[in-house]
Amino acid sequence: MKTLGVLIETEDEAVSRKYYQKNKTSLQFLKEYGIYMSYIPYDYAIFAEIKKQGEKNGINVIPLFGNSLTLEDCNQCDSIFCIFEGVYAFMNGGYKQYHNHMDILKKTKAKVFPSQKMQQFVINKHQYLTYFKKKGYDIAPTNFINIDKYNVSTIMNFIQKHKFEKVVIKPELGAFKEGFTIVENPSSQKLQKLFTKLKKKQYKRLLLQPFLEEFNKFGEIKTYWINGEHLYSYKQTWEKGDGVFESQEAIDPDLLKKCHETAKKLLNDISKDHEKLIQCRVDFACCIDNTNICRDYFINEIEICPTIPEQESRGHGYVPLAQAVLKACV
């Protein structure tokens, strides 16, 4: 019997009460792992769905826990599907835990999905953004900063050249806005003070981009894909607070079509140049040049181990994902 390990333990985004009521029979076993039925993180719910479908197909599906992962754990599996990724390891234990986590995924004899190499490529945002630009995709003007050996004069020249009055600083290993900073009227002194602060938090690489006023107003269009095929999209805006979600029906259909065409082409390029992805979320943001008619959406980022709140996919995302995982991994 083949063994598939599902790498979990993000502790993020609980599924809704409605989802629990509908699937409670297949979720009860999660109590064995200390999960309360009143708060079931999305990754445990996905694991439960994969396990349920795996049992029907004679596949042994077991959990692997990211915060205590060992090479021995991984080597008992024929293949591993990662939901917990290196960013979580960094958030929980800094670079030491991050490097240990990535080293285990590199050394295991199990087949890892997505591969350790692919995860490294996406975690290191400067690599994939440079790749996107080289392939001709629109991205925001970006200055990549090595926090150990930066030249503040070069950074200020970049800012002044583009006439940025406000910039955004993003750490490469940041997530959930951790380390995300907006700097108004940037100066050498402000940047150096911020970089010193971020260095103390163990960040090594940063991205500097313009703060786009339209980003808050028009938000991001997030498109979710399984095996290169579109499953659903939604829009998220921040103008009125932490994040307002809108279904894809609320998005201009011509704009959505354009985003889907770009994302489809991008995933085909990634498949040819790197590897085929079981799942991916491609996020588009607005706007680089125009403010009146909002059509210049650019690729803001991609996620190959994305957080998938069940409410976001209207409860339909876990079943096709489980099917795709079992088909690809086993």
Q: Are 281 and 223 in contact (CB under 8 A)?
A: yes
Q: Mind listing the pLDDT tens digit of every residue in the chain (330 residues)? A: 899 999 999 988 888 888 899 899 999 999 999 999 999 999 999 999 999 999 999 999 999 999 999 999 999 999 999 999 999 999 888 889 999 999 999 999 999 999 999 999 999 999 999 999 999 999 999 999 998 888 999 999 999 998 999 999 999 887 667 778 999 999 999 999 999 999 888 888 999 999 988 787 788 899 999 999 999 998 887 666 566 677 777 888 888 999 999 999 999 999 999 999 999 999 999 876 554 445 578 999 999 999 887 777 765 679 999 999 999 987
Compute the radius of gyration of the chain from its Cα atoms.
20
Whether CATH 3.40.50.1820 fits 123-136+214-303: no
> Tell me, what's the pLDDT at 111?
97
Whether CATH 1.10.10.970 fits 143-210: no
CA distance 251 to 11: 31
> Tell me, what's the pLDDT at 213?
81
Provide the CATH number for the domain formed by 3-114+316-329 in this structure.
3.40.50
The CATH 3.30.470.20 domain(s) of the chain lie at 123-136+214-303
Q: Which residues are CB-contacts of 63 (< 8 A; sequence separation ≥ 6)?
A: 5, 6, 8, 33, 47
Task: Classify 150 as helix, strand or coil.
Answer: coil
CA distance 117 to 106: 8
What single-letter DSSP state applies at residue 313?
Answer: T
The CATH 3.40.50 domain(s) of the chain lie at 3-114+316-329
> Tell me, what's the pLDDT at 288?
64
Q: Are 45 and 312 in contact (CB under 8 A)?
A: no
Strand duo 244-247 + 229-237: pairing: antiparallel
CA-based nearest residue to 167, from 178, 177, 182, 146 = 182
> Tell me, what's the pLDDT at 57?
93
Q: Are 126 and 205 in contact (CB under 8 A)?
A: yes
The CATH 3.30.1490.20 domain(s) of the chain lie at 143-210
> Tell me, what's the pLDDT at 48?
96
CA distance 162 to 211: 12
